[in-house]
A and B are shown apart, each in its own frame.
Chain A
Amino acid sequence: MLKYTKLAIVVFGAISLVACDDNNESSALTSEADSALEYQVTVSNLTNAQPFSPLTVLLHDTGDVWNIGDSASDALESLAESGDNSTLMSSSFVLGAETNGAVLPYGQSATVTISTETESNYLSLVTMLVNTNDAFSGLNKVDISQLAVNQSLQYSPGAYDAGTEGNSEAAGTIPGPADGGEGFNASRDDLNIVTMHSGIISSDDGLVGSVLNFEHKFDNPVMAVTITRIK
């Protein structure tokens, strides 16, 4: 009977999503292991020379990972300055969190698979561009509630500035391989609002004291993302 239901979902695609939404009424259904929903998030790093910190994928019904014009949360500050996603992954609004647990080199792709027993409305994605002071990229609050099995959503996100650390590009302030400097620092010496990133300058372009060079420049989009519901 259960198998028959799943088959119907595949065949009728978006139409049967309505029925899917009601699954939480039946404890018998949701307790079955194969009633889990599963999503694959594939990310390609499109920058020239900005490795990405371990990818962080979150499921949630409330909350935002960031909002343009608002101050970054401490959890986002930590991720955007150091690449450390542990605080964000354990944030109270998060219903499920996964990471690939490894740096994603430029020019490469990686996939994070996340599953959940109960449907979540939103999926978010965050990663740091590690050869910067506090640049990050990702997706905030993608509505996945209408996504049927085998359907995909595609995005090309740009780079954001957490606004929690001045973009000095100076030695000792950048955690990535271009510097090997400090990651997280609790002081906030920038605008203290999240904005789109205006790019790096680099020593090649005349910023005295910058440890970055022409290789580390980037333009948007910095990543290609495909979200596919596989169960």
Chain B
Amino acid sequence: MSHKHFIAAGFLGLFSAASQAQDLTVTLTNLTQGIHFTPVIAASHDMNAAIFHVAETASAELTALAEGGSIADMSILLSNAGADVIENPASGLLAAAQMTSFNLTNSSGNDYLSVAAMMLPTNDGFVGLDSWKIPSEAGTYTVYLNAYDAGTEANNELVLTGSGAPGTLGIPAAPGGDAGSNGTGVSDAQSNTNIHIHRGVLGDTDASAGASDLDSRVHRWLNPVAKLTVVVQ
């Protein structure tokens, strides 16, 4: 089934030089139990633009998104690349098990869909979709999204006010109000400095001490962490 899908995508990619604008209705669902998504950014773009690629270094724009939830610079990057950009469809945080929907009309040639949002509370974890080929055929399509680590900040798992600024170590906030404090820090070094699948958080069960400020019973997840439903009109 998926094999045939890829064959079809490859075949069309070879022969359809210019695509037409399409109307898309996109719904993003947070599938986690205890993680918030910061303001979501979504864009349709050509194959030369992207929010991120795995196994590559994060851009400054992605670093700002993944460490602090700021999508302003990423929005500029995408707009300058000719992308159709949707900012913050949930009007703020997207809590666990919540969904947000938006309409997106992609310009001719913007055949790829990308999505990203920071995951809180993490140091530099984000949910992402990189350059999903928008089907030319009308229908409803479902894509599951994974959690990535931007590789730009050590996962010390300490909730520290003001640490959302790129380069400032720490988790800027735990929106659920369920994190601890006074942890000693899980890790102060980043092994893998390229974008990779997030290994998950360690956490602990001590709210006022221990290595981590995160609660290992609450702030955990397994992939996939989000579901994206795309209706192509």
Contacts and interface: CB of A to CB of B under 8 A. Distances in A.
B227 to A, nearest CB: 16
Interface residues on A, range: 20 to 34
Given A46-B55, A47-B197, A151 B7 contact: yes
A215 B14 CA distance: 42
A205 interface: yes
Contacts of A152: 6, 10
Contacts of B196: 45-48, 106-107
Contacts of A218: 197, 199
B149 A214 contact: no
Looking at A109, A204, A214, A215, which has the most chain B CB atoms within 10 Å of its CB? A214
B77 interface: no
Looking at A48, A151, A222, which has the most chain B CB atoms within 10 Å of its CB? A48
Contact of A220 (B3, B155, B223): B223
A160 B49 CA distance: 34
A31 interface: no
B55 A224 contact: yes
Given A13-B14, A152-B6, A214-B186, A48 B199 contact: yes
Contacts of B223: 219-221
Interface in A81-127: 106-109
A70 B98 CA distance: 40
Chain A interface secondary structure, helix, strand, loop or mixed? loop
Contact of A108 (B11, B146, B194): B194
Given A48-B192, A108-B55, A109-B55, A220 B6 contact: no
Nearest to B55: A44
A46 B200 CA distance: 13
Nearest to B146: A221
A151 B192 contact: no
Contacts of A107: 55, 151, 192-196
Interface of A: 13-14, 44-49, 106-109, 142-143, 146-148, 150-154, 156, 204-205, 214-215, 217-222, 224
Interface of B: 3, 6-7, 10-11, 14-15, 54-55, 146-147, 149, 151, 155, 186-187, 191-200, 202, 211, 216, 222-223
Given A48-B149, A214-B199, 12 more contacts: A14-B7, A44-B55, A47-B196, A47-B197, A48-B192, A48-B199, A107-B193, A107-B195, A150-B10, A153-B6, A204-B211, A219-B200
